[in-house]
Copies of this chain bind each other. A is one copy, B any other.
Amino acid sequence: MSADAPVWIDEVFEDRVRYGLRGQILWEETSPFQKITIVDTEHYGRGLLLDDCWMTAERCEVCYHEYLVHPPLTTAASIARVLVIGGGDGGTVREVLRYAEVEQVDLVEIDGRVVELSQEYLGAIGTAWADPRLNVKIGDGIAFVQTAPDASYDVILVDGSDPAGPAAGLFNREFYENCRRVLKPGGVFASQAESPDSFLAVHLEMIETLSAVFAEAKPYYGWVPMYPSGWWSWLYASDTPGQFQKPQSDRLAAIEPQVEIYNRDIHQAAFAQPNFVRRGLSARQG
């Protein structure tokens, strides 16, 4: 049986920009939440699309997962209990579980089929599914934080898709307020925060909303070549001003040798803000 000929697998952004990888479609289905496509690309290996948007691929995933995980994990007061919302491909929890201090990670993913298909096809990304510290809960992360006890997690990481479809509720103030309530003192919240190039208005609104909920919220920037524009961002929020700039040196020393991108210089560098972001925030506040 011969393999199918490769095709272009494109994400089309606003009908004006497209980013395509050549490869084969290994599986496609529509779950109760979204269209799920598993592909094998020539350039970045096996990958995942949700609703025709690129989510991850084997050789293009550390640039997202390292940035989401390590700035909060190196700086939180404690990292014993970590909550991950979304992240059904398993890359985020893999990075979290690198830390020996982590005792429990709860992964709350709304779409069980994303977890099952990632476990079946994307084992090179999700290498930590068998870690006994990991609990996978299939359910709505928004409802989960509504009912979670006060001060029950050290770190909350939001690894969701764009603010449409099942992830829309991960971008509103009530959700952020629940996350703050659920965090312990010294805790840290982080979320992907869209592209400052492709989604500037959403990006600025997230910064503004999180700044109103937490004592401090800081965007940080990196590269995700398969996402719109490749210029990606995350948001770090905590009730301890300046905490984002103070990674713990024992954690840095343990993590730096294990990862592809993140180190103490990248940590500080990621928080530099382009002028157009600063001006956008000033204009909204003015």
A interface with B by C-beta (< 8 Å)? 8, 10, 13-22, 41-43, 60, 63, 197-198, 223, 225, 229-231, 256, 259-263, 265-266, 268-276, 278
Chain B residues near A223 (CB-CB < 8 A): 197, 223, 229-231
Chain B residues near A60 (CB-CB < 8 A): 197
Nearest-Cβ distance from residue A226 to partner chain B, whole angstroms: 9
Q: Which residue of B lies closest to A14 (CB)?
A: B43
Chain B residues near A16 (CB-CB < 8 A): 21-22, 41-43
A22 to B18 Cα, complex, angstroms:
8
Chain B residues near A14 (CB-CB < 8 A): 43
Known A-B contacts: A16-B43, A223-B223. Give 15 more (CB < 8 A): A10-B20, A16-B41, A16-B42, A17-B19, A17-B21, A225-B229, A225-B231, A259-B275, A260-B276, A261-B274, A265-B271, A266-B272, A268-B269, A268-B272, A269-B269
A26 to B259 Cα, complex, angstroms:
46
Q: Which of B8, B15, B229, B274 touches A18 (beta carbons < 8 Å)?
A: B8
Chain B residues near A18 (CB-CB < 8 A): 8, 10, 18-20, 22
A21 to B266 Cα, complex, angstroms:
31
Which of A259, A265, A273: most chain B CB closer than 10 A? A265
Chain B residues near A269 (CB-CB < 8 A): 268-272
Which of A10, A198, A259, A269: most chain B CB closer than 10 A? A269
- Asked, given contacts A43-B17, A223-B230, whether A260 binds B275 with beta carbons under 8 Å apart, the answer is yes
Chain B residues near A229 (CB-CB < 8 A): 223, 225, 230
Chain B residues near A15 (CB-CB < 8 A): 22
Nearest-Cβ distance from residue A63 to partner chain B, whole angstroms: 8
Q: List 7 A-B contacts (CB under 8 A).
A: A17-B19, A197-B225, A223-B223, A223-B229, A263-B273, A266-B272, A269-B272
A106 to B250 Cα, complex, angstroms:
51
Q: Which residue of B lies closest to A198 (CB)?
A: B225
A231 to B230 Cα, complex, angstroms:
7
Chain B residues near A266 (CB-CB < 8 A): 272-274
Nearest-Cβ distance from residue A129 to partner chain B, whole angstroms: 25
Q: Which of B41, B225, B260, B275 touches A274 (beta carbons < 8 Å)?
A: B260
A192 to B19 Cα, complex, angstroms:
23
